[in-house]
Amino acid sequence: MRKAISPQLLFWFFAIALIACNSKGRFHSQEKQLLQLADSIEFEASALANVPAAEASGAFLWAQENLREFELLLEDEEITVTREEGEIISQVSRARRLLKDNSKRRQSILNSQQRTLLQLRGLAQALGNEATHDSEGTPMDSAYIAENVSRELQMGRTLKATIEETKSYASRGIKTVEEIRPQSDSLQTQLRGKLARLILERGSVE
């Protein structure tokens, strides 16, 4: 004769089953988050690559050289500029600031990207495979998973934000140089003419 299963035993059976299902669902959600972030980092890195590093570098050198030229021309106290002319010089300075560390930022991103993607996808794979221990033999309990998922997501989001910012600075810097170059060239020609006349006037007085 079959023994009836007690209501209390049934309760615990269903409770354990529910916890297991919830756990798997949570891990699946975390796995998805990790993979989606890895994919979005690759997408942003590709978008950054579409802003040529050589073009950004060339624009920076132009802005740096032309800003220095303005500084030299304005060393003479009798050379003054209007507010509108001053704005042209400010735009050259702005382009220089935007592009200043572009090469270093790109190299830093390149160094971090591979490591970050490996970590994000490695942890996602471990969750997908329901691994019980990591590569060093540390038990992967709920606390371990929560801590590591949080850390990897934060690191990934920081990298993604850096890529987006670097792309924005490069694009804006290049655009600023393209827009301000004709006005900058024209203003430098005017200032050189003023300086030449001043030198001639001073020479005639002497």
pLDDT at 131 over 90: no
- Give the domain extent around 88: 31-205
pLDDT at 8 over 80: no
**Tokens found for residue 65:** 């050289």
pLDDT at 98 over 60: yes
Q: Tens of pLDDT along 58-70?
A: 999 999 999 999 9
pLDDT score, position 140:
87
Residue 11 lies in a domain: no
Q: Tens of pLDDT along 33-85?
A: 999 999 999 999 999 999 999 999 999 999 999 999 999 999 988 899 999 99
Q: How much is the mean pLDDT over the chain?
A: 87
Residue 82 lies in a domain: yes
Rounded distance, CA 206 to CA 197, Å?
14
Number of domains the chain contains: 1
User: Coil, helix or strand for 139?
Assistant: strand
pLDDT at 17 over 60: no
Q: How confident is the model at residue 119 (pLDDT cuts 50, 70, 90)?
A: very high
pLDDT at 10 over 90: no
Backbone angles phi, psi at 3, to 5 degrees: -85, 140
pLDDT score, position 153:
97
11 C-beta neighbours (distance < 10 Å), count: 10
119 backbone φψ class: left, alpha, beta (φ>0; ψ -120 to 50): alpha
Task: Check residues 194 and 17 and name the one with the higher pLDDT.
Answer: 194
Give the angle subtended at the CA of 42 by the CAs of 36 and 44, to the nearest 5°.
Answer: 100
Residue 1 lies in a domain: no
Lowest-confidence region among 45-59, 119-133, 164-178, 181-195: 119-133
Q: Which residues contact 10 (CB under 8 A, 6 or more apart)?
A: none
Average pLDDT of 15-38?
67
Average pLDDT of 136-156?
91
- Across the strands, what pairs with 139? 133
Which residue, 168, 165, 158, 167, is CA-closest to 37?
158
**What separation in angstroms does the CA of 173 have from each of 49, 52, 75, 109, 192?**
15, 12, 26, 19, 26
- Helical H segments across the chain, by residue range: 7-49, 53-73, 83-99, 102-128, 142-205
Residue 184 lies in a domain: yes
CA dihedral 185, 188, 194, 195 (to 10 degrees): -140
Residue 130 lies in a domain: yes
Residue 7 lies in a domain: no
Rounded distance, CA 62 to CA 60, Å?
5
pLDDT at 9 over 60: no
Q: Which amino acid is at 44?
A: E
Residue 23 lies in a domain: no
Residue 8 lies in a domain: no
**Tokens found for residue 36:** 């989606």
The whole-model pTM stands at 0.80
